[in-house]
């Protein structure tokens, strides 16, 4: 994507198709982890200042919404990224889940997918995570990371902040502000608070963390990885002049069509100004650099499973669909017989169609990972 396309990019396009993990991301050096247990603060809070930026390869895909399944068998626990990530509903685990979910209530198959609260085994552990690219501007907990570009698992609370700024409701009278832009976006001061100290349930401290954030008042540009300014004085002056023009529109809250028309006129004037024209080649240079520095979000996207993983998943599915539990079953797969063969398993065509239109729908109760730091 060119600098002209990015400069003209509508941030609201990022929020029009959102849905509700895989190779272990905990060990991935590209992942930025903001964990309270790594805090150097006396109160145990993890604080940092970051810029969440557009995906330089494709701003329209700045959020990687990863769909994954966790499976448990005799070998242990395995998480695999599902092809649902790419809107491909042929994922064998998803297909198997549908087979169980749409079996007759009360049958063995049906109970394999049913939640534990309802008396089922809840064997289908589906997860969702949203990832973005960030530049770390300040981090006293991990100062060696300052200036670097990483991939960050975006907490729901911070996603909602972005949504509010970049995709405001029409009724709010506000316009979309490109806070993820490399040059005239904003930074976010992040505060990650640990969960409560509970001697009876010590995991609460790392599992029940909370995220809060605050946008900077002023425009904050990306910097070079060595933390030096990205623009020289002349380039910075051009950017500042353009921002002064366009900021007038950003700050307006329009209550009627007349005010909207005035705002549109300000935007049109700013985007046809000499400053905007002078900014184009500067932006092109910056975009080329960001493309070199930023990691690829596709690193955490779906890729065909290796043969060993594929065979393990196939075995897991066969055991589940035979009515057994893969975590305890250690018999010969060849001897498995579908125990539910005499219990008619039907598929409701109408209902299944509704699930196909939303492949992320599941009855399995899955522990939320929205606000976990990794």
**pLDDT in 10s for each residue of the chain, 374 residues:** 566 666 666 777 776 544 333 444 444 789 999 999 999 999 999 999 999 999 999 999 999 999 999 999 999 999 999 999 999 999 999 999 999 999 999 999 999 999 999 999 999 999 999 999 999 999 999 999 999 999 999 999 999 999 999 999 999 999 999 999 999 999 999 999 999 999 999 999 999 999 999 999 999 999 999 999 999 999 999 999 999 999 999 999 999 999 999 999 999 999 999 999 999 999 999 999 999 999 999 999 999 999 999 999 999 999 999 999 999 998 888 777 654 444 433 334 333 333 333 322 332 333 344 443 33
- Please report, for the domain that includes residue 150, its CATH number: 3.90.198.10
Spatial CB neighbours of 120, under 8 Å, sequence gap ≥ 6 = 110, 111, 112, 113, 114
Strands 149-153 and 31-32: parallel
The residues facing 243 across adjacent strands are none
Token pair 């008042």 in the structure block, residue = 217
The residues facing 64 across adjacent strands are 131
Give a yes or no: residue 360 inside a domain. no
d(CA 82, CA 66): 8
Give a yes or no: residue 69 inside a domain. yes
Give a yes or no: residue 293 inside a domain. yes
pLDDT of residue 9: 62
pLDDT of residue 335: 72
d(CA 67, CA 18): 12
Give a yes or no: residue 135 inside a domain. yes
Helical spans, DSSP H, in 175-322: 204-207, 233-250, 257-270, 274-293, 307-321
- Nearest to residue 183, comparing CAs of 251, 285, 269, 274? 285
d(CA 284, CA 110): 55
- Nearest to residue 315, comparing CAs of 93, 85, 67, 84? 93
Give a yes or no: residue 364 inside a domain. no
Give a yes or no: residue 366 inside a domain. no
Spatial CB neighbours of 347, under 8 Å, sequence gap ≥ 6 = 98, 99, 102
Spatial CB neighbours of 45, under 8 Å, sequence gap ≥ 6 = 36, 39, 191, 192, 193, 194
DSSP label at residue 223: B
Spatial CB neighbours of 340, under 8 Å, sequence gap ≥ 6 = 103, 107, 108, 109, 321, 323
d(CA 260, CA 181): 23
Give a yes or no: residue 371 inside a domain. no
Half-sphere exposure at residue 97, Cβ-oriented, CA atoms within 13 angstroms: 27
The CA-CA-CA angle for residues 123, 126, 132, to 5°, reads 160
DSSP label at residue 229: B
Structural domains in the chain (count): 1
Give a yes or no: residue 365 inside a domain. no
d(CA 23, CA 151): 15
pLDDT of residue 11: 75
What is the extent of the structural domain holding 87?
1-350
H or E segment to which residue 111 belongs: helix 108-113
pTM (2 decimals)? 0.82
């Amino acid at each position: 994507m060119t600098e002209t396309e990015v400069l003209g990019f509508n941030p609201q396009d990022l929020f029009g198709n959102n849905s509700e993990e895989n190779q272990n991301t905990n060990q991935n050096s590209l992942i930025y982890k903001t964990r309270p247990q790594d805090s150097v603060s006396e109160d145990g809070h993890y604080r940092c200042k970051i810029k969440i930026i557009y995906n330089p390869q494709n701003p329209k895909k700045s959020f990687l919404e990863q769909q994954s399944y966790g499976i448990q068998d005799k070998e242990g626990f395995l998480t695999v990224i599902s092809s649902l990530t790419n809107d491909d509903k042929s994922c064998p685990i998803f297909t198997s889940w549908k087979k169980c979910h749409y079996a007759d209530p009360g049958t063995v198959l049906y109970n394999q997918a049913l939640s534990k609260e309802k008396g089922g085994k809840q064997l289908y552990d589906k997860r969702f995570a949203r990832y973005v690219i960030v530049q770390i501007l300040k981090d006293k907990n991990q100062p060696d990371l300052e200036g670097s570009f990483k991939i960050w698992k975006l907490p729901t609370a911070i996603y909602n902040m972005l949504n509010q700024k970049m995709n405001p409701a029409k009724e709010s009278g506000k316009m979309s502000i490109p806070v993820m832009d490399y040059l005239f976006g904003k930074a976010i001061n992040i505060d990650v608070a640990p969960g409560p100290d509970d001697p009876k349930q010590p995991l609460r401290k790392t599992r029940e963390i909370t995220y809060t954030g605050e946008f900077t008042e002023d425009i904050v540009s990306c910097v070079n990885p060595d933390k030096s300014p990205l623009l020289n004085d002349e380039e910075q002056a051009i950017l500042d002049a353009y921002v002064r023009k366009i900021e007038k529109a950003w700050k307006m809250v329009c209550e009627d069509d007349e005010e909207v028309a005035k705002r549109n006129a300000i935007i049109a004037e700013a985007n046809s100004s000499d400053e905007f024209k002078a900014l184009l080649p500067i932006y092109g240079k910056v975009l080329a650099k960001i493309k070199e520095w930023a990691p690829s979000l596709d690193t955490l996207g779906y890729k065909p499973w290796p043969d060993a993983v594929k065979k393990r998943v196939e075995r897991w599915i066969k055991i589940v669909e035979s009515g057994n539990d893969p975590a305890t079953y250690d018999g010969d797969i060849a001897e498995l017989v579908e125990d539910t063969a005499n219990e008619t398993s039907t598929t409701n065509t109408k209902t299944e169609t509704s699930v196909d239109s939303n492949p992320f729908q599941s009855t399995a109760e899955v522990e939320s990972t929205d606000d976990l730091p990794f």
